[in-house]
Amino acid sequence: MDNNDTKRISRLTGILMQLQSKRILTSTTLAKKFGVSIRTIYRDIKALEQAGVPILSEEGKGYSLMEGYRIPPVMFTENEANALITIEQIVRNNSDSSLITAYTDAISKIKSVLLYAAQDKVELLANRIAVSPAMQNNHTSSSLTVIQNALTAFKVLNITYLSEKAQETARRIEPFALYYTLQESWALIAYCHLRKDYRMFRLDRIIKVEVLELSFKPHELTLASYLKNKEKNFKTPDT
């Protein structure tokens, strides 16, 4: 399978998810969403139909799925869906772009398995929730999901870090935990090979991150004990 085949399979899956999350979608909307021509969308829709997906076409309106057609077979209660939609509005104001992208994609998949009546309700709720501008900050990052994956896979990271004094240093670290405050946004608690101790690194000051094919043993330290030890003189990053 070449790269074009992989891209098309990914796009077909994405189109199916989009159709499940909306009542009606036009070919123009889908073309803009996936960055392809309308003619390509026509071919993709035909391919999905040939694969047995019950797509309904309304002239002058667009495409929709036959009511009751759902993949995967996972259902959410209305309260569960509402909780996720509420959190979505907070995540969209988060400072890490990788988290926003991942959560937005996840919410799209969640919406796709809801019945049309429930979809209308969660869309209404999403339009009736606002997040105060006071929660926003100027700290931005894009490495949260990469760090999360390394943390759960016990992979060592190489990072280029910018200190408070604007000095760049290369660090080899073992990701341990993530810490969040409204003032400082996301920070990574990690064992630093350079300092031979645990340090805290603000994600917006991590200039570059590289996941190494080098594993480390899970830390015996717990997050609760770490925070308890730092409670009296806890300061952010690398102090």
Q: Where are the domains of the chain?
A: 3-65, 78-135, 144-230
Token pair, residue 138, equals: 């100027």
Does the domain at residues 144-230 carry the CATH identifier 2.30.30.520?
yes
DSSP conformational letter for 186: E
pLDDT tens for 79-93 read: 777 777 777 777 777
pTM: 0.57
Rg (CA), the chain: 22
pLDDT at 141: 83
Q: Mean pLDDT, to the nearest integer, of 149-161? A: 93
Q: How many C-beta atoms lie closer than 10 Å to residue 54's C-beta?
A: 12
Say which CATH topology domain 3-65 has.
Answer: Arc Repressor Mutant, subunit A (1.10.10)
175 cis-preceded (ω within 30 degrees of 0): no
pLDDT at 214: 94
d(CA 89, CA 183): 19
As a whole number, the mean pLDDT across the chain is 81
* The one-letter amino acid at 21: S
d(CA 233, CA 142): 28
- Does 182 or 205 have the greater pLDDT score? 205
The arrangement of strands across the sheet holding 185-192 comes to 197-202, 185-192, 168-181, 155-162, 206-215
C-beta separation of 16 from 63 below 8 A: no
Token pair, residue 85, equals: 């939609």
DSSP conformational letter for 235: -
d(CA 239, CA 232): 14
pLDDT at 239: 46
- Does 118 or 16 have the greater pLDDT score? 16
% of the chain exceeding 70 in pLDDT: 79
